[in-house]
Amino acid sequence: MLSTPNDISVNSTVNLVTASDDSALYNTARVFTGPSSYLFSIQKSGRHYIRLYFFAFALPDYNLAAATFSVSTQYLILLNNFQSSNSSAAVFKEFSVNINSEKLILFFTPSGNSSLAFVNAIEVVSVPDDLIANTAQILNAGGNYSALSSQAFETVYRINMGGPKITPKNDTLWRTWIPDAEFLINPNLATFVSFSRPIDYVEGGATREIAPDFVYNTATRLAESSSISNPIFNVTWEFSVDKSSTYLIRMHFCDIVSNSTNLLYFSVYINAMYAIQNLDLSERTFNSLATPYYVDYIVVKSNDASENFRISIGPSDMQNVLHDGILNGLEIMKLNFNTIDAVQPSSNSIKVGIISGTVLGACSIIAMAGLCMVIKKKKLLKKHNSRTWVPLSFYGGRSHSTTSKSSNGTSASYGQYSTSQLALQFPLIVIREATNNFNENRVIGIGGFGKVYKGILRDETRVAVKRGNPKSQQGIKEFRTEIEMLSRLRHRHLVSLMGYCDEEKEMILVYEFMEKGTLKSHLYGSDLVPNLSWKQRLEICIGAAKGLHYLHTGQANAIIHRDVKSANILLDEKLLAKVSDFGLSKAGPEMDQTHVSTAVKGSFGYLDPEYFKRQQLTEKSDVYSFGVVLLEVLCARPVIDPTLTRDMVNLAEWAVKYEKRGEFEKIIDPCIAGKIKPDSLSKFRETTMKCVAEYSVDRPTMGDVLWNLEYALQLQEEIANEFEDESIDRLAQLAAQSKKKNQSLEEFDVFGDQNLQDPSLSQTFSVSRVFSQLIKAEGR
């Protein structure tokens, strides 16, 4: 991993760094007397944090305080002529960079008259690629700054408004947030508020990776005007910056002060210029409270002599609104990195070290480092986002293709398909009429693809209308995949696609309306939904398992859903479960293959760890995700909850730990604890633990899972047949017994109430695949 002329490791016998969670990192250092480098093997390309720790403690042989050096990657100069001259203070530097190669090289190069470089610790953390959006509005310029997703950033400030310091152990991406008090110009104009109830993270909005609950649970608020002599005032923070650079400013908001929606209006300023005038957080968060919202602005470099940024919140200038305003968090990140042509280091001089990952990202901390040169990348500054959607056209039954224009003018094709294979095309005017012109009051959900509206057609049929977000290039792929998949799939436990609309550059999908919403909403996060009984939960799980089992076995090639989660299991008015959202679905391996090699897609907390590590997708990846859903059903808690203690954050890991300790009953939802019959719980526990096994070879098929869930339900109802349930191998014997009493089961209805007379809807399966048909010869 390290290549250096002299391998010099030093340590301090006295801890001079103020006590903190990472103070131990500053007790040792690696000293370089010439150009040196570290090479890391990157498991997953994309955005990463590179964190560097420096503390120039006193040494008899080396003057670290006088060391001047540069730190680079293959592509960027991170620090140029850096000097940690203050030996009484530690220095922490964090950079957010896009790594598109399999290796990351960090170069440490002494510069000027210095012959020394050093580092105390290095941290490399894989983070979600969408942590930085591709575009942001340029302050006071009326346009957008493009291609941010490929840019590198240096974190200058990360502030928690109204609350204490947030340490890495309380942040999903191991970040540190410092209090805002020292930056307030006039603290008397502000008051600090906190919120004890859960933050409502909505799908498609801010996530805990954007900022943790602890940021949104506190805020700095305008003080009551009655306590201030001048009733018209702003709360202002001041930050020292180098204005010769361009900055990304991210502001975090969450209405934790209002008792109802549409009461909080205020304005936000950057350097005395309007950033947002008369901000209505209810409008930005779809009429919900305690829901996070964030916004990014670009402040371009300036010739202004002032070296400070001023961020302010102030009252709205609207009539008859309260004098109020809040800010929950703030991040200031610096752009403008120097680049130089890449120099390939000698392969003989580099030793490779692997950084392994978790579902939320790879994190490695080491006490070493090195030197580099880099590939040029152009920063694109444009007044408008040049990426546009070219609409699908499906007229006259011809084949057409979808393309997406990138910012450099090139187009990417997303394939061709004919209307003969597709669902009904809805005119846009019908969609607008059904949704009351996409009225925000009709929004029933938000996802990565876009918003979902409740619609009512002219014949009073209720539908769910999913409208794609034109800013999402991924949305084009999902639009195509969803149409292709659902146009040829029909099953009682899969959500039906009724049609689509692509007029006027729209990407709209129309589905059957599911009255009871998502399974997730019935488990936690809503006090308005009655608790599900254990029997209801089992029936819902069985329905979802039937849908997934059909995906895996109902076609010549298996279809792998890739995004199985409780939010993608919908319930009708009778609580019948249907699997939804096929935008990430992918055809499974061919008969002579064991897996499909593909980039990792899915949702954190549900991802198959083997798929994440190896990028090898199989049907067992869906089985793992469904196992996590089973745990959600039993425990009624989120799959990732960073507000809990470290050993409880990840639901699957927490459950496995308790199961190994023989304390599985302790994780059960209190609403159903004591109401589950021991045999039913035992079968459910056994099935779930097999589903979330670390290695796919140890997991059951969806057919096996379905068999066991149906049996767990029968055990709960005390009508189980007298047979051994320890092995799925008994299925063949059961089928033979069933044949003697009833008609042959070689062909059976996998579509529930669907008509088997349609040959396109019937499939032939081996009797060992579906438990329900073996137990009941008459079918479902």
Residue-wise pLDDT tens digits, 216-272: 999 999 988 655 555 567 999 999 998 788 999 999 999 999 988 889 999 999 998
- Contacts made by residues 109-113, CB under 8 angstroms, sequence distance 24+: 109/35, 109/36, 109/69, 109/70, 109/71, 109/72, 109/371, 109/372, 110/32, 110/33, 110/34, 110/35, 110/67, 110/68, 110/69, 111/68, 111/69, 111/70, 111/80, 111/81, 112/68, 112/81, 113/68
Q: Do the first three CATH levels of 2-130+338-366 and 153-334 match, i.e. the same topology?
A: yes
How would residue 192 be classed by pLDDT, with cut points 50, 70 and 90? very high
Higher pLDDT, 395 or 641: 641
466 annotated as belonging to a binding site for a ligand: yes
The answer on pLDDT for 746 being more than 50 is no
Q: What is the pLDDT of residue 611?
A: 85
Q: Tell me the percentage of the chain whose pLDDT exceeds 90.
A: 48
Which range of 204-213, 478-487, 771-780 scores highest in mean pLDDT? It is: 204-213
| CATH homologous superfamily of 388-512 | Phosphorylase Kinase; domain 1 (3.30.200.20)
The pLDDT tens digits of the residues spanning 341-355 come to 433 333 333 332 323
Which range of 310-324, 335-349, 444-458, 674-688 scores highest in mean pLDDT? It is: 674-688
Q: What is the mean pLDDT of residues 751-775?
A: 33
The answer on pLDDT for 394 being more than 80 is no
Dihedral of CA 143/145/146/149: which sign? negative
Higher pLDDT, 424 or 181: 181
> What is the model's pTM?
0.49
CA distances from 408 to 98, 242, 378 (A): 19, 30, 11
How would residue 592 be classed by pLDDT, with cut points 50, 70 and 90? low
Q: What is the mean pLDDT of residues 430-436?
A: 89
Q: Tell me the percentage of the chain whose pLDDT exceeds 70.
A: 75
Q: What is the pLDDT of residue 634?
A: 97
CA distance 193 to 33: 51
Q: What is the mean pLDDT of residues 469-489?
A: 72
Q: What is the pLDDT of residue 228?
A: 52
Mark out the alpha helices in 519-650 (DSSP H runs). Answer: 519-523, 534-553, 609-614, 619-635
Catalytic residue, chosen from 563, 581, 622, 641, is: 563
CATH architecture, domain 2-130+338-366: Sandwich (2.60)
The pLDDT tens digits of the residues spanning 662-690 come to 999 999 999 999 999 999 999 999 999 99
CA distance 461 to 513: 9
21 labelled catalytic: no
CA distance 133 to 147: 9
Q: What is the pLDDT of residue 430?
A: 86
CA distance 53 to 123: 8
Torsion angles phi and psi, residue 108, rounded to 5: -115, 120
Which range of 134-143, 386-395, 769-778 scores highest in mean pLDDT? It is: 134-143
520-720 CATH pick, 1.10.510.10, 3.40.50.880, 1.10.238.10, 3.40.50.300: 1.10.510.10
Higher pLDDT, 636 or 322: 636
Q: What is the pLDDT of residue 350?
A: 30
Which range of 85-94, 458-467, 579-588 scores highest in mean pLDDT? It is: 458-467
Mean pLDDT (the chain, rounded): 78
Determine which of 59-68, 241-250, 373-382, 615-624 has the lowest per-residue pLDDT on average: 373-382
The answer on pLDDT for 120 being more than 90 is yes
Domain ranges of the chain: 2-130+338-366, 153-334, 388-512, 520-720, 728-780
Which range of 149-153, 154-158, 422-426 scores highest in mean pLDDT? It is: 154-158
Q: What is the pLDDT of residue 471?
A: 63
The answer on pLDDT for 747 being more than 90 is no
What amino acid is encoded at 478 in this protein? E
Cβ of 367: how many Cβ atoms within 10 Å?
17
- CATH fold group of domain 153-334: Jelly Rolls (2.60.120)
What amino acid is encoded at 620 in this protein? K
